[in-house]
Structure 1
């Protein structure tokens, strides 16, 4: 009896199984643009840190995934996902219908909206109270759009800057009466200046950030969603949110 064909078949099955196991255990590359404090930025020792970093590390641990976070410029981050340089992206990416046509998103891990920063003694309660006041925004941002729609694009009261840190610095030095910007960045920057506070206008629409994978990568998506659900359930998400934003975490939708 010739055992060679059977041995060859058994060896083939073993190699396929081994290859599958190695594929499952391989280190996944996470793309994140480390220029968006406090979500992801480089520490003085060049380590990538931030809210997004803490979230993906917690999710990966719960999901049993090995990951390596790579600083990936925002301008090329989706191309890196498309060509396989990275396996997933976490970089403050807003979930919207246009992006969902090309990529798959996990359940939300962050509730994004616009936020107003003002001096602590300000009586401002919302956007309409900013009429006639000097408002700082980042040029071309959502905050710029909101202020322009409410007060007119050419309003002399709207002061445009190149970055949120500059806007907040101007506000802290009494050069502005208010600032409008992304809630995560505004809240983080405002807490660095004890003379400032933040004001939420309920009319500002909510948006959500999600972790991004290639469209059709259902296996990885399911693992990430399972890990994310576990992080939300055991209190890790709330602790990470509190660490970076000094506030209680909002309740996020399941999907």
Structure 2
């Protein structure tokens, strides 16, 4: 009887330990509000980036939007910076509560996570040196093109490569891709237009060409959550309220200059 009880107690302890290992610890702020961990890749200005002159914490459009939504729902946000390719695995491993990183809700990603409605749309741009002679997608033939790993632009490059053959190289961070162009290791890169604008404004020796797309749907950004998370519905509701009352537009004007 004692042996049976001992085994039963051990089994219960093991189950409890395993269950605890698979659950992210809940955090609360000093005022008692639950803290949600947001995963992002802070190399995507103006969506999320680090301005070292003003601190080490990521700032940007996505950060402001996440904080605004969370505040309305009674939460606080803690931002965790990581490589873009590790964001969905971080959701699946229960390391973050949600992801905002200018992420497009592709069908492939929807198999692993749930998304809110799209909150921002954009187009893709080819960035290349001004003297490269590249004026269109056709001119990429035989060139080496940089893209961010696991991004929608990597998918776009693979799609274009079916008809215009070129070499695709990926890097984890956008600044690394720009440096590869400036070091003549990449002939060009494919980057989202709002992000590309920041580099084109700063790097006067680079130029950008918008990629024309026959598809009506543009690449859009949405918030990613674990499958069947209650937060998806809650965030989506507040997001759509902010679209209707103009709060989202104000953030777009703040971070993108009102040209969108």
Using the size of structure 1 for normalisation, the TM-score is: 0.65
Superposed, 1:219-238 pairs within 5 Å as: 220-238=231-249
**Are 2:170 and 1:153 equivalent residues in the alignment?**
no
Residue pair 1:104, 1:212 contacting (<8 A) in 2 also: yes
Task: Check 1:58–1:73 CA distance in 2 against 1; reply closer, same or farther (3 A cut).
Answer: same
**Are 2:41 and 1:30 equivalent residues in the alignment?**
no
Aligned to 2:107: 97
Aligned to 1:106: 116
Cα distance between partner residues in 1 of 2:129 and 2:179: 12
Cα distance between partner residues in 2 of 1:86 and 1:222: 17
Superposed, 1:1-255 pairs within 5 Å as: 25-44=33-52, 45-117=55-127, 127-128=137-138, 130=139, 137-138=145-146, 141-142=154-155, 144-145=157-158, 148-153=161-166, 164-165=174-175, 180-193=190-203, 198-203=208-213, 205=215, 206-218=218-230, 220-246=231-257, 248-249=259-260
Task: Check 1:165–1:87 CA distance in 2 against 1; reply closer, same or farther (3 A cut).
Answer: closer
Cα distance between partner residues in 1 of 2:155 and 2:258: 23
Task: Check 1:131–1:70 CA distance in 2 against 1; reply closer, same or farther (3 A cut).
Answer: closer
Deviations 1:75-105 (A, max 9, x none): 4433432343321111232211222122110
Cα distance between partner residues in 1 of 2:86 and 2:185: 36
Cα distance between partner residues in 1 of 2:42 and 2:140: 36
Residue pair 2:143, 2:187 contacting (<8 A) in 1 also: yes
| Pairwise CA RMSD | 3.9
Task: Check 1:179–1:80 CA distance in 2 against 1; reply closer, same or farther (3 A cut).
Answer: closer
Aligned length: 220
1:138 Cα deviation from its structure 2 partner: 0.8
Judge which range, 38-47 or 117-126, deviates more.
117-126
Task: Check 1:243–1:168 CA distance in 2 against 1; reply closer, same or farther (3 A cut).
Answer: farther
SS in structure 1 at match of 2:199:
helix
Judge which range, 189-198 or 28-37, deviates more.
189-198
